[in-house]
Amino acid sequence: MRVVIADDVMLIRSGIARLLGDTGIEVIGEAADADELLRLVALGKPDAAIVDIRMPPTHTDEGLVAARQIRERYPDTAVVVLSQYVESRYAQRLLADQPGGVGYLLKERVSDIAVLVDALRRVADGECVLDPTIVARLMRRRRPDSPLTQLTSRERDILALMAEGRSNSAIAGELHISERTVEAACAHLFRKLQLEPSADVNRRVLAVLTALRG
């Protein structure tokens, strides 16, 4: 896998690059701002980009804007955005246009490089991955008319783990149930959310997008 890293703090960029290199992932470029990030993606066509949300010049949402541009202009490049803060509205904006191939993690997760590597591989496969802290907040905040109110407690637990990018086998292990039970629950969940089988869409990604919308 080939990736680029964008963060205005050199020590963070270099640290992530070194840790990823140790796992066999090739870092083909590092950027300190959004413009340099977009240039590196255009030139290198990486499999994924790791992007800090807050970058120069205003340190607000430059990274988020760049991430959405990457997904629009270079659909073969997945994106994992990193944030120091729990900002569920940023996650909603990120997944609004193209929910597949994106991830949103808190920076503290990067201390466990296995979490970042797993997220990179999942988004590169077209999935979406959300930080567990953000998922927990989203699942607690539901509108009265939300389709999520139709889900059972078990189905909401499964959807939350799905939003974290967990596979069916990982969900089964976390909830101490069989993988077949997870598969059956997913089928019920998809029906309740009116997500019909289709070769053109990833129902897991659409289910997570439904959770984001509340």
**CA of 130: how far to CAs of 100, 177, 204, in Å?**
12, 23, 13
Q: What is the pLDDT of residues 124-159, one digit of tens each?
A: 998 888 888 877 776 676 666 777 788 899 998 998
Of 6-15, 46-55, 201-210, least confident by mean pLDDT is 201-210
* Inter-residue contact 207 to 162 (CB < 8 Å): yes
Counting DSSP H helices and E strands in the chain, the numbers are 10, 6
Judged by DSSP in three states, 81 sits in: strand
Q: What is the pLDDT of residue 99?
A: 66
Judged by DSSP in three states, 189 sits in: helix
**Taking every pair of C-alpha atoms in the chain, what is the biggest distance, in angstroms?**
50
pLDDT of residue 167 exceeding 90, the answer is: no
Mean of the per-residue pLDDT values of the chain: 87
Of 27-41, 57-71, 102-116, 123-137, least confident by mean pLDDT is 123-137
pTM recorded for the entire structure: 0.77
pLDDT of residue 183 exceeding 70, the answer is: yes
What are 213's two structure tokens? 């919308």
What are 36's two structure tokens? 């340099």
User: Average of pLDDT values for 107-115?
Assistant: 85
Q: What is the pLDDT of residue 40?
A: 97
User: Average of pLDDT values for 27-50?
Assistant: 97
Residue with tokens 């029906």: 191
Question: What are the structural domains, with CATH classification, of the chain?
Answer: 2-135 (3.40.50.2300), 142-213 (1.10.10.10)
